[in-house]
A = this chain, B = another copy of it.
Amino acid sequence: MSEPIAIIAGRGALPGLVADTLRARGTGCTVVAIAGFAPEGVAADATLQIERLVPFLQDLVARGIHRVLFAGALQRPRLDPSLFDPATAAEVPRLLPLLQAGDDALLRGVIGLFEDSGIRVLGLADVAPELIPGAGVLGRHQPDTGARADAERAAAIVGALGALDIGQGAVVAGGLCLALESLPGTDAMLEFVVRSGGVQKLAGRAPRGVLYKAPKPDQDRRVDLPAIGPDTVSAAARAGLAGIVFAAGGAVVLERARTVEAADAAGLFLWSRGR
């Protein structure tokens, strides 16, 4: 039996899924909630107050935990200056400029702090590669030629955005870019498409168009992979899209059976797109 793993729990169903997967395999795990953000569907064994990160890491090592996994979307915490311990406070000057940069830069800084403490940061691909589909169409609906062209344009757009360390998604229909992902995330972007009148009004054609998701070109793939789940499918259906495309090997599909079933029922394709 391998050494236990600490799961730093972000938003969504992923932390619980990973904990179940690891435990079923006999790997011990400690679920760590981030103070202020309760995990969904899984009990937290410990809470991390970011302002006391350094003693927290020392405590993990003292308990024989040398591996952590970040699971689920992380939110930017509001830091309370009065809560810092001296050791973490000493790291603030190093992290401060990163708080004003994009997510990648900030996460790289945080990973650096873990590694400096002798803790290895694992990626989801290390512990549960089955959650990251390879290339192929997952459900029974296939993308047509128009959807393939939209996916190609969206991939170029998301790649350019990602190079600027913003957004991991876009909505493209009939070659037109209807929405771009920024800080508020994918759900907010899809809601924006619905509020703007949906694909029909914006692109002026029959229902079509794609949601495209991919990691940023330079991001550390151990953290913050884009995730697709049943909720993504219903939001994409509400927006009037023809399907969901994501970069093969670069996105997590949560509850794959339910997600595929939802897409099949809604008439949407689910395409894990290779290069």
Q: Which A residues are within 8 Å of any B CB, using their own CB?
A: 76, 78, 100-102, 156-157, 160-161, 163-164, 166-167, 174-184, 188, 191-192, 195-196, 202-204
- Whether A100 and B202, one on each chain, are in contact in the complex, defined by CB atoms closer than 8 angstroms, is no
User: Considering the chains assembled together, what is the distance between the CA atoms of A202 and B78 in angstroms?
Assistant: 11
- Whether A177 and B184, one on each chain, are in contact in the complex, defined by CB atoms closer than 8 angstroms, is no
A100-B175, A192-B192 are known; give 19 further A-B pairs, CB within 8 A: A100-B176, A101-B175, A102-B175, A102-B177, A156-B164, A157-B166, A160-B160, A160-B161, A160-B164, A161-B161, A164-B177, A176-B183, A177-B182, A177-B183, A178-B182, A183-B203, A184-B192, A188-B192, A191-B195
Residues on the B chain within 8 Å of A102, using CB:
175-177
User: Considering the chains assembled together, what is the distance between the CA atoms of A164 and B166 in angstroms?
Assistant: 15
- Whether A204 and B76, one on each chain, are in contact in the complex, defined by CB atoms closer than 8 angstroms, is yes
Q: Which of B175, B181, B196 makes the CB contact (< 8 A) with A184? A: B196
- Whether B183 and A202, one on each chain, are in contact in the complex, defined by CB atoms closer than 8 angstroms, is yes
User: Considering the chains assembled together, what is the distance between the CA atoms of A195 and B182 in angstroms?
Assistant: 14
User: Considering the chains assembled together, what is the distance between the CA atoms of A76 and B202 in angstroms?
Assistant: 9
> Copy number in this complex?
2
- Whether A167 and B192, one on each chain, are in contact in the complex, defined by CB atoms closer than 8 angstroms, is no
User: Considering the chains assembled together, what is the distance between the CA atoms of A191 and B188 in angstroms?
Assistant: 12
- Whether A180 and B196, one on each chain, are in contact in the complex, defined by CB atoms closer than 8 angstroms, is no
User: Considering the chains assembled together, what is the distance between the CA atoms of A160 and B164 in angstroms?
Assistant: 8
| Residue of B with least CB distance to A77 | B204
User: Considering the chains assembled together, what is the distance between the CA atoms of A54 and B196 in angstroms?
Assistant: 33
Residues on the B chain within 8 Å of A167, using CB:
177, 180
User: Considering the chains assembled together, what is the distance between the CA atoms of A156 and B188 in angstroms?
Assistant: 23
User: Considering the chains assembled together, what is the distance between the CA atoms of A175 and B165 in angstroms?
Assistant: 11
Residues on the B chain within 8 Å of A184, using CB:
178-179, 192, 196, 202
Residues on the B chain within 8 Å of A192, using CB:
184, 188, 192
User: Considering the chains assembled together, what is the distance between the CA atoms of A175 and B101 in angstroms?
Assistant: 6
21 interchain pairs, CB-CB under 8 A: A76-B204, A100-B174, A100-B176, A102-B175, A102-B176, A102-B177, A156-B164, A157-B166, A160-B160, A166-B177, A166-B180, A167-B177, A167-B180, A177-B182, A178-B182, A179-B182, A180-B181, A180-B182, A184-B192, A188-B196, A192-B192
